[in-house]
Chains A and B, each alone.
Chain A
Amino acid sequence: MRILTISLLLTLASVGPALAHAHLKNADPAVGSTVKAAPTAVTIEFSEAVEPKFSTIAVADGTGHRVDKDDVHVPGGDAHHLSVDLPGLGAGTYTVTWKATAVDTHKTNGTFTFTVAP
């Protein structure tokens, strides 16, 4: 009983923030970053698993023209990540627009930019 109580208290003490809904955790290229080599893909890591069939990533150039290959997929089978392939990008600033449907069916979206400056 004592062990059970101590375990419960330790468990409660270790409780951290609950990040429900798929929020952007990391991105490659990073949010607002400037990269020298043109990336071959944009990959976003979310705070929770997403439904790939109902999630999108679109990459547009400075004129608003979509440049990605429209092949959103889950790299490595980890549904916390979503990726879209890119053709060879030239110098410039690109806008990434993402929409995610989390596995709990809630939706989130956002945008960020990155710059290619060889």
Chain B
Amino acid sequence: MMNSVVPVFDLAEGGLWLAFARGVTIAALFSLFGTLVFLRVVAPRCRPRMTDLEAMRAWRALRRLAGLSVAVAIAALLTWLVFQAGAIADAVTLRQALLATPLVLTATRFGHLVMVQAVLLAATAVLLSRSASRQPHALAVWTAGVAVILHAGHGHALSVATHPLLLPASMALHLLAGGAWLGGLVPLLLFVRMSPPQTGATVCRYFSPLGKLCLVAMLISVVFQGWVLIGNVPALIGTGYGWVALGKLALLGLLFGLAVLNRYHLAPALRAANARSAQVWLVRSIALQTGFSVAVILAAAVLASLPPGFQPPS
């Protein structure tokens, strides 16, 4: 009998559904944080190049996106809580999972973190609804950012024995950078699509430094986490965790490639004669990037559900 070269993908109880619920929660958190960062950092710098009507339409679309993101984030967080409570309590039915939820919420670290995240998201929603001006309240960026950072506590960062401070810090940095960059892609897409080509070029120019900074932070944190959680080549190529990590790295490579294409080829073309055609291609490229971002986030959610590659012999 031949040994399979495909490693075991030992997902935690709850399997793919639990990983999916975790992934949707991360995606919504990223979308919220990325949209708020975009609104505070990138959009104001493009305002002088926009007419009042263009600005009004763009800001309204982004504020709607932020509102939708916070609503989805709260709903996804609570759904994930029930799924996770069911998995922890070995529940077989939804009713059993719901009955286990209060105890999981009050008696586990996972539950405590979910409670704080839910409060922060609710505070963000209130701050967004009360912002009179176009700009969201600066505090909303902080509350959303802390909710993103706290997600580091749901993964392996606070569980492994080695590097009790550095690993959570690395994970928090990874999440913040991912949130600002990947979460900023949909706002970028909306801005480029809704603005005249010249303004779209300006948006890309101002989004680029943020993207570069986030990419560097993500790569540094990925290398460190890979070192700690995988540790060696056999664990990288011989475990399910290693395979998913490689897949995530490949997706990040594709994202990087598209970012380079956008910044140095398609965005400058917005100022050229065939600007409308370039705008269409840029919108398609950013949409593709957004799709890859969702895949990266789902891969991250699966990674958090798998035992790290570096495991002691059983």
Residues of A within 8 A of B (CB): 11-12, 15-21, 23, 47-49, 51, 53-54, 101-107
Contacts and interface: CB of A to CB of B under 8 A. Distances in A.
Given A19-B161, A20-B307, 8 more contacts: A12-B227, A15-B163, A17-B162, A18-B156, A21-B307, A51-B109, A103-B110, A107-B12
Contact of B159 (A11, A53, A104): A104
A49 B166 CA distance: 18
A105 B84 contact: yes
Contact of A18 (B13, B103, B160): B160
- Is chain A's binding surface mostly helix, strand, loop or mixed? loop
5 contacts: A12-B227, A21-B311, A54-B88, A102-B159, A103-B109
- Is chain B's binding surface mostly helix, strand, loop or mixed? loop
B88 A105 contact: yes
A18 B228 contact: yes
Nearest to B110: A105
B10 to A, nearest CB: 9
Contacts of B162: 15-19
Nearest to A102: B159
Interface string B88-123: 110000000000000110011110000000000000
Interface residues of B, number: 32
Contacts of A23: 312
B268 interface: no
Interface of B: 12-13, 84, 87-89, 103-104, 107-110, 154-156, 158-163, 166, 224, 227-229, 231, 307-308, 310-312
B158 A103 contact: yes
A53 B310 contact: no
Q: When A and B form their complex, which 5 residue pairs have the shortest distance between CB atoms, in order from nearest?
A: A104-B159, A18-B160, A53-B107, A20-B156, A103-B109
Contact of A54 (B108, B228, B310): B108
Contacts of A104: 110, 154-156, 158-159
B182 to A, nearest CB: 23
A118 to B, nearest CB: 33
Given A18-B162, A18-B229, A105-B12, A54 B156 contact: no
A20 B159 contact: yes
B103 A103 contact: no
A54 B106 CA distance: 12
A20 B12 contact: no
A54 to B, nearest CB: 5
